[in-house]
Structure 1
Amino acid sequence: MSSLLQHPGHEEESLQRVSDQLPCREVQAGTLLSLMGQYSYPSIFIYGHRSSGKSHVLHVLLKELELPHAPVSCVECVSVALLFEQVLLSFFGADAASLLPRSPSLSDFVRVYRNQCSQSPAEQTRYIVMEKAELLRDADANLLPALLRLQELVEDNVTVILLSEIVWDKFRPNTGCFEPLLLHFPDYSKGELQHILSHDRHPSYSAEFYSSYINILLGVFYSVCRDLRELRHLPHAMNVAFTCFCVSSVKETDTHKLWRNMEPHLKKAMQTVYLREVSSLQWEKMQQMEEKESGALRGLSAHTHVELPYYSKFLLIAAYLASYNPARTDKRFFLKHHGKIRKTNFLKKNEKTSNHLLGPKPFPLDRLLAIFYSVVDSRVAPTASIFSQISSLVTLQLLTQVSHDDQLDAPKYKCAVSMDFICHLYGIYKHLL
């Protein structure tokens, strides 16, 4: 099949290699290639949702066609000094980057760049690729307008390419600036996702067989996840489900029986599509533990088998410990170096009664989080996801908020699940700690 990309300045073999690496993105690659001539436009703004192929298409074009470029990550370049240094280092080497002062201004960068251009003029267009360019909105007010017309400032054949997930209308400075060329990357359709994921098949399986598996997988996940990167990094869905899809005595053509073989695993994988909380090895361990203990747990109520995210289960365990243990015992139970504690008169007379008979007691939020980080061995950072999972547990009535609505600074909760429920969670997940 002939290459869909055509450009008089590049060999057909190179264009064919580019086309082979960019399935379902030939149109966008062709548009970019038409803009990459000997004299290019000063600035190009490429936008689209996450995992729509923006960075990949640009990286393949610049690498395979051997075009001079400076990749700049706005996440890593936390200051303009690092940004300027990265550009000079990529184009002119370490000696040019060392000419910048300790705290360079935009005029210092332009001066050094122009001096280097006079010594080594560009034979073809140089490209500055700005990843996560939306972070430039938080930089100095003059930085973004200067980058958009950098070609005019440095008097060099250079093009600045901005990659962003937001549209240009939300990106444009209030003071006005030079308008770049806009190029949109649409989301992949279901057919395009199937075509791309089918390239990941193992040579031991036929293309028709693996394509039917991808079709079934997308039939489950496409309604909730259309991110190519997430679909490729679903270890429990892509590995465990495919093993169940293949390791059976069912023929490849009988897709109905193959679907019934992998359906339970895909349903469980739906619970952690975007969470990235459980690795493939941990998920397989959970599967084995659930199979071993399924017989012993048949007598429990259906409420016990509710599906929760990974860290929500540890939050629930921490809530149970906070509800049924006195607060003054936390140091003894959850600190490794708590010092000596006298055992005499440790419990008061009214505390010798089982706390399970007295019912759960309220606890503050900070105590819940302290026990939670102790249970998970501090391997997770306090993020908004953790606090949202606490709210979800309250919505599911697994936790009860007992403080008033006006007490926003110190909310209090109670654990609303039984000991059998907690024992079930601990029995499955204690091997993952």
Structure 2
Amino acid sequence: MAGRLEHPGYDEEKLRIVSEQLPCREVQAGALLSLMGQPQQYCYPSLFIYGHRASGKSHVVNTLMKELELPHATVSCVECISAALLFEQVLLAFFGCDAASLLPRSPSLSDFVRIYRQQASQSPAEQTRYIVLEKAELLRDADANLLPALLRLQELVSIFLYSEIVWDKFRPNTGCFEPLLLHFPDYSKGELQQILSKDRHPSYSAEFYSSYVHILLGVFYAVCRDLRELRHLAALNFSKFCEPVAAGKAKETDAHKLWKNIEPHLKKAMQTVYLREVSSLQWEQMEEHDAGALRGLSAHTHVELPYYSKFLLIAAYLASYNPARTDKRFFVKHHGKIKKTNFLKKNEKTSNHLLGPKPFPLDRLLAIFYSVVDSRVAPTASIFSQRDMSVKFVLITCVNICFPLQIPEFKVAVFLFLCRFVLFTSFAL
């Protein structure tokens, strides 16, 4: 049963609408409202909201701001590639085009604060204004003084930042005003069942669609807990699930027949989770073309590793078969002069592949991974979960699992030709 939001200063009908739009996130929405206080009160100066992807962070904040009609400026740090664009978006949302046009060509933070003060004095607000920064981890690549300065704007406006990484990975080295932290945990299996069941098809009963969601989660919950991806998979495969019912071959209560019909399609869809290699229309055409070839669990196409798992496997291979002293020469662009010598140790005259893989520490694996991957990657939980998945499927083995107090060391466990194949297919993408 969904909880009801209650807070003095806000209309009860609006709070009821907010509660209906935020299933399984009433606790986080209530905590956020408590920190914001009543509309005329000062909010906490800055709030850092963090959690994994698709855990409801932006949905909760945007719903509260929109339904409660709070003055706010939502800025995507992906779109605002410079501080000037960020300042312009904030002034545009609060005061209109005339205020944004007052910014100079290359505005500084002092220019933004000066113009904001002028406009705020001319148009005083009866409520607290909020700046909501999406994908706030990108601010780490901006000017060093931008984030600390934004966190000290408490006299002018409240700052909400939400990100997929924790604050310890986010905190500037120069120090800053510490925001209040609010964590959004992952949805549990029961919560995902409740949320996905709300998207039921109008032609079928709620119990029928709920049973379909239960089957879908039984297959995908172990490998995927992303609400957006699960919602996409539910919409993509529902037509296959209800085919026997539409054809009159089964009833809505015939769970066994429905499972036998949908099982091969769900197993095949599991191989492309997160990849989105084809569109929904292309997937349906491919399903029609390959319908005669599917036979339950025996229908097996080529197995594709997740994108970053390939690079983790490459990094593990390079760390196992290359000495640690060569990392600077191979992976650092400006490594300086290296003394050439023809002297080789006795064991180096033999090929490293004949001697077998050598153990390496976790920090070396990640350092090589960030060197060989194409783009800048944030150290999110997804990267570490793919590393754990590689260990689980014995692509990488942990050599000191019996000593939990030591730094974990690993060895690559796949054959040479497999690593070469992964290396070739990764750089051929």
TM-score > 0.5, shorter chain as reference: yes
- Give secondary structure in 2 for the equivalent of 1:151: coil
**1:376-387 aligned within 5 A:** none
For 2:410, the equivalent position in structure 1 comes to none
What is the CA–CA distance in structure 2 between the aligned matches of 1:211 and 1:132, rounded to whole Å?
33
Q: Deviations over 1:272-326 (max 9, x none)?
A: 111111112111222222246x49xxxxxx9x964355999xxxxxxxxxxxxxx
For 1:11, the equivalent position in structure 2 comes to 11
Q: Deviations over 1:94-147 (max 9, x none)?
A: 100011000001111111111111111121000000000001111111111111
For 2:210, the equivalent position in structure 1 comes to 211
Q: CA deviation at 1:21?
A: 0.3
- 1:147 paired to 2:150: yes
**1:190-205 aligned within 5 A:** 190-205=189-204
Q: CA deviation at 1:396?
A: 9.5
**1:272-283 aligned within 5 A:** 272-283=272-283
Amino acid at match of 1:87: V
- 1:269 paired to 2:269: yes
**1:10-409 aligned within 5 A:** 10-37=10-37, 38-152=41-155, 156=156, 158-234=157-233, 237-244=236-243, 246-247=245-246, 248-291=248-291, 294=293, 306-308=301-303, 401=420
For 2:312, the equivalent position in structure 1 comes to none
Q: CA deviation at 1:48?
A: 0.3
Unaligned runs of 5+ in 2: 308-372, 376-394, 396-413
Amino acid at match of 1:203: P
Following TM superposition, the consecutive aligned residue runs of length 4 or more in structure 1 with deviations greater than 6 angstroms are 395-400
- Which TM-score applies when normalising by structure 1? 0.67
Q: Does the 8 Å CA contact 2:49/2:184 hold for their aligned counterparts?
A: yes
Unaligned runs of 5+ in 1: 296-301, 313-381, 385-391, 403-407, 413-433
Amino acid at match of 2:222: S
What is the CA–CA distance in structure 1 between the aligned matches of 2:58 and 2:244, rounded to whole Å?
33
What is the CA–CA distance in structure 2 between the aligned matches of 1:235 and 1:272, rounded to whole Å?
14
- Over 3 Å counting, the alpha-carbon distance change for 1:123 and 1:288 in structure 2 is same
Q: Does the 8 Å CA contact 2:130/2:158 hold for their aligned counterparts?
A: yes
- Give secondary structure in 1 for the equivalent of 2:154: helix
Counting aligned pairs with the same residue, the percent is: 73
Q: Deviations over 1:386-416 (max 9, x none)?
A: xxxxxx9xx79998959xxxxx9xx89xxxx
- Over 3 Å counting, the alpha-carbon distance change for 1:140 and 1:397 in structure 2 is closer
Amino acid at match of 2:212: Y
- Over 3 Å counting, the alpha-carbon distance change for 1:311 and 1:35 in structure 2 is closer
- Which TM-score applies when normalising by structure 2? 0.68
- Which sits farther off after the overlay, 24-33 or 203-212? 203-212
- Give secondary structure in 2 for the equivalent of 1:150: coil
Q: CA deviation at 1:250?
A: 1.8
Kindly report the root-mean-square deviation, in angstroms, between the aligned alpha carbons of the 2 structures.
3.1
- Over 3 Å counting, the alpha-carbon distance change for 1:71 and 1:288 in structure 2 is same
Q: Does the 8 Å CA contact 1:136/1:144 hold for their aligned counterparts?
A: yes
